Structure 1
Amino acid sequence: MRIVDLVHRWTGGLIGLLLAMLGLTGTLLIHKDAWLRPFLPHAADPQAQDAATLAATAARWFDGSAEQPSSILFATDGFGLNRLAYGGDAGAYADQAGRIVTRWDSVWERPELWLFDLHHHLLMGETGDIVAGIAGLIGIGFVVTGAILWWRLRKTFVFRLWPRRMSRASVLRHHRDLGIVVAPLLLVTMLTGTMMTLQPVANLVLSPFSPPAEMRGALAPPNVKGGTPGRIDWRKIIDTVRARYPDAEIRRIGIPTKPGELISVRARQQAEWLPNGRTLFWFDPADGRLVEQRDALAMPLGTRIFNLAYPVHAAKVGGLAYRLVMTASGLGLTLLGSLAIVTFWSSRRPRARKRALG
């Protein structure tokens, strides 16, 4: 048990601050739409999903626009602006009538963008993904060892949102008891986050359900070269998607950025939890002909499970009730990570004084 205690304390002492940061930024991102709406014109507009509006939006930005985006992410029922993506980190928000509301050339120009980059990539790109994923794995170990240590003292359990006193003993007791309350949520959050950032972890978790190669193939674009881009009938493309899935939301349209690429469309069926859906379509940019289509609900079981990771992690399912639950989880992780730093370093000082007196 002493080894478990040492592992737990050193884990908290070394990465407690990182886990606290991930918890706080994740909590803020859960409510991103709510705190953005008051500051962006038309962000509270109702979502338009009729074929005429979507086709007009695509034509407005893709056909002869002076600054043609590479993709459009359409408005949702909680955020009424379309998001345009340009090269690199550049982008813009536009209302559903086609007027630019604000634009940016760097993630540093938008608080929600750098907050997302900090939470998901630690502002370090792919390297940050790996670091955050490793931190998630360590965090899982942190939760497991903490539960083992709590079990010995379970009869002293008292739930408090804040330590009774800021003495080391009181903080340790609060840390232990709060940790066991939020442990199940932290395991779910850290496992889903690690699955999204570390492919080997996702493969390990999902391989009992589907072979990794099969899962990769389900999401890979078709091995078909598109023709030379021509004038596209966007209404025809929208109608093609709707003919197959009448109740689906059209979430994203992307156009080729390199020769031979296809037009891509993402749709979300009502049964999908993923906010932007994973029902996929590809069209030839030369004439708008449908090349291939994949139904998210018919994908391999492992892929369908993986598609649940993000909505569960980011509270994009379950409405306000689940957002509040995950808010409690995020704030709990913030507090636990912070207190881990406090208790770890304060535990070193008495020994240092004892050695000095000796």
Structure 2
Amino acid sequence: MKIRRVVFNFHLYIGLAAGLFLVLSGLTGSMIVFREEIEALLHPELMEAAVNGERVPLQTVLNAVSQAYPDDTVFSVRMPRTPKQTYLLKMNEPHGLFVYADPYNGELLGAHRQEDTFIGWVALLHTELLIGERGKTILGVSALLLICMSITGFFLWWPPNGKGIGKFARGFKVGWSAPWKKVIFDLHRASGAYTIVFLMIIAFTGVSLVFNKTMVELTNFLTASVPRPVPPHSDPLGAAGMIPPLDDLLHQADSILSGPTTWINLPQTPRAPLVVRKKMPEEFHPNGRSFIYFDQYTGEVLRIENASAAPSGTRVYNLFYPLHIGVVGGTFTRILQVIIGFSPLVLFVTGYIMWRNRTKARAYKPGCFIN
């Protein structure tokens, strides 16, 4: 019983310390599971274009963006994934200015900063609390604490001293006709029991996204895998050469890997490569984890990374993001992810009420006085 008391206090104070961050993370995570669909609904003038013949060369779009935004640099380009989807060009950095272009006539449809739209603001709140790297670290630590809470919660939920498996089933039930304090307790216990596996997955994968370098090393160690090589470099000595047009490089990338191109990362430094990102049919990652690196000066293929042929550690790590956002099982698991996102709110509110009830009960015990 002394061990249970220590575990109980540990579980309680972790919940009080990290609860609000976990509630915020859960609710915002639920909202961005269907981010693309919500954005298309709220901003169809930016997200959708009328299908009209063949797409114009991507270079035409890049030229139009350069003329319209001469003081900005294209960081990356999201390729259309459906006939109606537009080009998204991210300027300067991943969360900078977003510019949208019609893929059939090259016309620029509009632009905004990520935080200027509701769902973009929610996404930044979910990933970095609107304060950059410090926010990411806070959320990463909160996810670690959620793992601790899940483990201690399971320990407290399990019937003590092996007193019959019959009590095991009670942990999944809520006695709605019982006194309200018992209902709160049952609701807290049952909510944790039904969601613990999903919360552990979300927390673990969330930690892997924040502390990615450490998690990559750990995954490689556990799977006895060689690390993924660092990206290759372009050779500035080839700057005098004639680079093939960007659209020719995209055609070449299609002949190398058959999967659709999802993103293009344009070089931001003299030694950076041009990176074409692809999604192979067997990949769960919505953007794919297959890459073709081109020398930015000569167009030479520097490296090909096919996710299906990657070392086992890399393939395992590549699953973490799809698991985190719930796309592994399709629409069903995405809907489930939305529902699970509300569980931290239920657990925090019921846990807080239980804690307040216990605090008041102690304060009014005989011999205890409040000034």
TM range (shorter): 0.7 to 0.9
Aligned to 2:62: 61
State whether structure 2 residue 355 is matched by structure 1 residue 344.
yes
Partner deviation per Cα, 1:88-111 (whole Å, 9 max, x = no partner)? 422223332333333124x32122
Q: Which amino acid aligns with 1:71?
A: S
After TM superposition, the structure 1 stretch with the greater mean CA deviation from structure 2, 177-186 or 280-289, is: 280-289
* 8 Å Cα contact 1:163/1:174 also seen in 2: no
Task: Measure the CA separation in 1 of the matches of 2:196 and 2:32.
Answer: 21
The match for 1:154 among 168, 174, 177 is 168
1:178 & 1:304 partners in 2: Cα distance? 32
- The structure-2 alpha-carbon separation of the partners of 1:316 and 1:82, relative to structure 1 and needing over 3 Å to count, comes to farther
How many residues align? The count is 348
Over 3 Å counting, the alpha-carbon distance change for 1:261 and 1:205 in structure 2 is closer
Choose the corresponding residue for 1:251, options 255, 259, 262.
262
SS in 1 for 2:227: helix
1:188 aligns with 2:192: no
Superposition deviation, residue 202 in structure 1: 4.2
Q: 1:73 aligns with which of 75, 78, 103?
A: 78
2:20 matched to 1:17? yes
Q: CA deviation at 1:56?
A: 1.0
1:258-273 to 2 correspondence within 5 Å? 258-273=269-284
What is the deviation of 1:140?
Answer: 0.7
Residues of 1 paired with 2:324 and 2:84: CA distance?
20
Distance in 2, Cα, partners of 1:276 & 1:79: 18
In the superposition, the TM-score normalised over structure 1's length comes to 0.87
Q: Partner of 1:356 in structure 2? A: 369
Give the 3 Å change call, closer, same or farther, for CA 189–176 of structure 1 in structure 2.
same
CA distance in 1: counterparts of 2:65 and 2:28, whole angstroms:
39
CA distance in 1, matches of 2:23, 2:269: 41
Q: Determine which structure has greater relative contact order: mean sequence separation of CA pairs < 8 Å that are 6+ residues apart, divided by chain length.
A: 1
Match of 2:284, SS?
coil
1:99 aligns with 2:121: no
* Change in CA separation of 1:257 and 1:155 when aligned onto 2, cut-off 3 Å: closer
The answer for the alignment partner of 2:164 in structure 1 is: none
Give the secondary-structure state (helix, strand or coil) at the position aligned to 2:275.
strand
What residue ranges of structure 1 are gaps of 5+ in the alignment?
none
Question: Is 2:124 the partner of 1:117?
Answer: yes
Partner of 1:85: 90
Deviation at 1:278, TM superposition (A): 1.5
Is residue 200 of structure 1 aligned with residue 214 of structure 2?
yes
Q: CA RMSD in A?
A: 2.9
User: Counterpart of 1:176?
Assistant: 189
Deviations 1:275-298 (A, max 9, x none): 111111121222323222211111
Name the CA distance, whole Å, in 1 between partners of 2:124 and 2:187.
Answer: 32
Amino acid at match of 1:29: I
Equivalent residue number for residue 235 of structure 2: 225
Cα distance change on mapping 1:297 and 1:138 into 2, 3 Å:
same
Q: Does 1:235 align with 2:243?
A: no
- C-alpha distance 223-289 of structure 1, shift in aligned 2 (>3 A): closer
Distance 1:188 1:142 in 2: 13
Residue 79 of structure 1: how far off its partner (Å): 8.0
Structure 1 170/224 Cα, relative in aligned 2: closer, same or farther at 3 Å? same
Secondary structure at the counterpart of residue 253 of structure 1: strand
Tell me, yes or no, if the aligned pair for 1:165 and 1:171 is still in contact at 8 Å.
no
